[in-house]
Amino acid sequence: MRAVVVSQWGGPEVLTETTIDRPEPGPTEVLVRVHAAGVNPVDWKTRASGALIEWDAVPVPGWDVSGTVEAVGMGVTLFAPGDEVFGMPHFPKQAGAYAEYVTAPSRHFVRKPAALDHVAAAALPLAALTAWQALVDTADVRPGQRVLVHAAAGGVGHLAVQIAKARGAYVIGTASAAKHDVLRELGADELIDYRSADFAEVVRDVDVVLDTIGGDYGRRSLEVLRPGGHLVTIAGAEGFDAEAAGVRLSVLLVEPDRQGLIALAALAEEGALRPLIDTVFPLAEAAKAHELGELGRTTGKIVLSVVPAESAPTA
């Protein structure tokens, strides 16, 4: 099968398309023919140094998968060949989504929402599960609460805005002014242009902050929380003194989550969760996808379109 591999740790240029052995599903696993693979910041961060995750002998990046079940291993009862599925298998171990096929435990996938095509479905798993696990599982956002989402137009942020809104929250987001209109369409109630205003000076009495940026953003977010409020960060919290600020602090690393995926699929079917697609690249242009992502200017997600093996051009 075709796959994009990391030839050595470094810049986007180390991503090369090659041919590797197609995996076979073991007991309780499914073989999924990948139609599309989402691209996330963790992809280029791990590509640069190899740190953070456990790599296989052949390092293939990517975790977001949307595709069709090709075969099932012994004991699998949830799916059959031909079922359309999406998921975030194995994280933080290698999943190998930048390839024509992946294998993973069947319960790392759920049925793809009919309301979404494969490109849109591939944009959801890692980013949307991050937002879901932060806002629902960790912070337990409830109707009427004030939720501040940093980088609200980013991959995680624009999905977090919608999830918080679906929970009945009043949603505040930080984003450049050019992205405010689309965020209002997604449900944001209040928006702050970080280029012209300091959120810490204009926001108060927030119940929950989702910090996707880290550093000074996270520390200053402690100032806007009400007593007993909750800061959830996916960007680290070294040097944060939440206790002195009288608030709670949680540092989240997303993990495979079947129930979370089911809930996200339901929101998508209802029209309450819509991934924004910034750019779609063919698999062979994964390096260009990383170059664009590392600029930090995208709205929503970057996705790789993976041509199924049967449709691959022949020599």
Q: Quick one: pLDDT at residue 237?
A: 86
pLDDT higher than threshold 90 for residue 307: no
Q: Quick one: pLDDT at residue 215?
A: 87
Q: Quick one: pLDDT at residue 309?
A: 46
- Three-state secondary structure of 50-113: CCCCECCCCCCCCCEEEEEEEEECCCCCCCCCCCEEEECCCCCECCCCCECEEEEEHHHEEECC
> What backbone torsions phi and psi does residue 4 show, to the nearest 5 degrees?
-100, 125
pLDDT higher than threshold 90 for residue 311: no
Tokens describing residue 213: 């940026």
- Give Cα separations from 126 to 39, 122, 195, 202, 298 (angstroms): 9, 9, 28, 31, 17
115-126 burial, b for 16+ CB within 10 Å, e for fewer? ebebbbbbbbbb
Could you give the domains of the chain? Answer: 2-124+275-311 (3.90.180.10), 127-251 (3.40.50.720)
> What backbone torsions phi and psi does residue 52 show, to the nearest 5 degrees?
85, -30
Element at 191 (helix H, strand E):
strand 190-192
User: In terms of C-beta density within 10 A (0-12 exposed, 13-18 middle, 19 or more buried), how is residue 190 classed?
Assistant: middle
Q: For residues 185, 264, 24 and 51, what is the CA-based torsion angle, rounded to 10 degrees?
A: 70
Share of the chain above pLDDT 70, in %: 97
User: 117-176 pLDDT, tens per residue?
Assistant: 999 999 999 999 999 999 999 999 999 999 999 999 999 999 999 999 999 999 999 999
- The mean per-residue pLDDT over the stretch 166-187 comes to 97
Question: Do 41 and 61 meet the contact criterion of CB atoms below 8 Å apart?
Answer: no
Average pLDDT, the chain: 95
Q: What is the pLDDT confidence band of residue 308, given thresholds at 50, 70 and 90?
A: low
25-44 burial, b for 16+ CB within 10 Å, e for fewer? beebbbbbbbbbbbbbbbbb
Distance in angstroms (rounded) separating the CA atoms of residues 136 and 85? 23
- The mean per-residue pLDDT over the stretch 201-225 comes to 94
- The mean per-residue pLDDT over the stretch 78-95 comes to 97
Q: What is the pLDDT confidence band of residue 236, given thresholds at 50, 70 and 90?
A: confident
Q: Quick one: pLDDT at residue 52?
A: 82
Q: What is the pLDDT confidence band of residue 53, given thresholds at 50, 70 and 90?
A: confident
